[in-house]
């Protein structure tokens, strides 16, 4: 469960996120969408406790992110758009390191199936410098999934993956949501979001334009038309005069 109330983020005098409130329940996958600079990455970083919010409250799996950041962070994983890896640790050593930080017991038994699920098992003894961009992304994903987080934040998780990798990633996200995980993901690949998300939140200039189930948000901007794509909804919601 993710509960966000009145989240504000300012960078100096500039307000990137304005009074954002929403809730995501276990099993739900929320697509965070909006034009470049709308505040998606900023929001995700605040929710993951990577940067401090200027105001507002965030609860992750019932834990207040400000009052008890360690408990909240134990329950979550953040997958950034630009994965940061350790140059001198192999794929397998990354997982061992993350396991130690999060206190994951018997991590070898968990790491191997994860590497296989993400199709980098044959690179287990390679360093990041020897991996392709997509493989680095997959390693970062494996590291984030190792402690079985209840709450997951993905910033552009599908960019850089090949078509099969995208399908596997979608399946992987859906599998965890069905098992009770709470997921928020930002992406510009709206046709792919439609296949993964149960809910959508549209941001524009740091402000929430709409949120709800995919069906509800679509209905609001569809003007009575049937089968309007999320891409069309996005353009109507963020480009037009509709508020
Ligand atoms: N560290 C920072 N200092 C100052 N301004 C920032 C900083 N990070 C982001 N911003 C500004 O905050 C706004 C939101 O940026 P953010 O990266 O959250 O957008 P985004 O929705 O993720 O965009 P994109 O789709 O391009 O990834 C932008 O106007 C950006 O210039
Ligand atoms: Mg971004």
Q: What is the mean pLDDT of residues 93-111?
A: 92
- Ligand 2 centroid to Cα of residue 212, in Å, is 21
Cα–Cα distance, 221 to 233 (Å, whole number): 6
- Ligand 2 centroid to Cα of residue 182, in Å, is 20
Q: What is the mean pLDDT of residues 216-240?
A: 87
pLDDT-based confidence at 242, cuts 50/70/90?
A: very low
State pTM to two decimals.
Answer: 0.94
- Ligand 1 centroid to Cα of residue 85, in Å, is 22
Answer for the pair 193, 119: CB distance below 8 angstroms, yes or no. Answer: no
Helix (H) / strand (E) element for 27: namely: none
Task: Return the pLDDT at 243.
Answer: 42
Task: Return the pLDDT at 240.
Answer: 57
Whether ligand 1 lies within 6 angstroms of the CB of 50 is answered as: no
Task: Return the pLDDT at 66.
Answer: 95
Burial of 120 (0-12, 13-18, 19+ CB in 10 A): buried
Collapse the DSSP code of 189 into the 3-class scheme (helix H, G, I; strand E, B; otherwise coil) and give the result.
coil
Confidence check: pLDDT of 14 > 80: yes
- What domains lie within the chain, and their CATH numbers? 2-239 (3.40.50.300)
Task: Return the pLDDT at 57.
Answer: 97
Task: Return the pLDDT at 140.
Answer: 93
Nearest bound ligand to the CA of residue 16: 1
- Ligand 2 centroid to Cα of residue 213, in Å, is 22
Atom of ligand 1 nearest to the CA of 45: 18
Instruction: Give tens-digit pLDDT for 142-165.
Output: 999 999 999 999 999 888 888 888
Cα–Cα distance, 143 to 134 (Å, whole number): 14
The distance of Cα 79 from the centroid of its chain, to the nearest Å, equals 6
Atom of ligand 1 nearest to the CA of 11: 4
Nearest CA to ligand 1 atom 25: 36
């Amino acid at each position: 469960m993710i509960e966000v109330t009145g989240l504000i983020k300012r960078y100096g005098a500039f307000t990137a996120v304005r009074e954002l409130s929403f809730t995501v329940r276990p099993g739900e996958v929320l697509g965070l969408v909006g034009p470049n600079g709308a505040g998606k990455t900023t929001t995700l970083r605040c929710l993951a406790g990577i940067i401090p919010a200027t105001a507002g409250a965030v609860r992750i799996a019932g834990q207040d992110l400000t009052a008890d950041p360690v408990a909240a962070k134990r329950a979550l994983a953040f997958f950034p758009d630009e994965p940061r890896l350790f140059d001198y640790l192999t794929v397998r050593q990354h997982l061992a390191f993350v396991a130690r930080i999060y206190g994951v017991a018997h991590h070898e038994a968990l790491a191997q199936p994860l590497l296989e699920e993400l199709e980098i098992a044959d690179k287990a003894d390679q360093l990041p410098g020897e991996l392709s961009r997509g493989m680095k992304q997959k390693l970062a994903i494996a590291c984030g999934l190792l402690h079985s987080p209840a709450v997951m934040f993905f910033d552009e998780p599908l960019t850089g993956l090949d078509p099969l990798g995208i399908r596997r990633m979608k399946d992987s996200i859906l599998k965890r949501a069905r098992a009770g995980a709470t997921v928020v993901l930002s992406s510009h690949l709206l046709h792919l979001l439609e296949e993964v998300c149960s809910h959508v939140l549209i941001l524009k200039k740091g402000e929430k334009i709409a949120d709800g189930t995919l069906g509800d948000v679509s209905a609001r901007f569809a003007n009575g038309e049937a089968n309007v794509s999320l891409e069309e909804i996005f353009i109507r919601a963020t480009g037009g005069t509709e508020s």
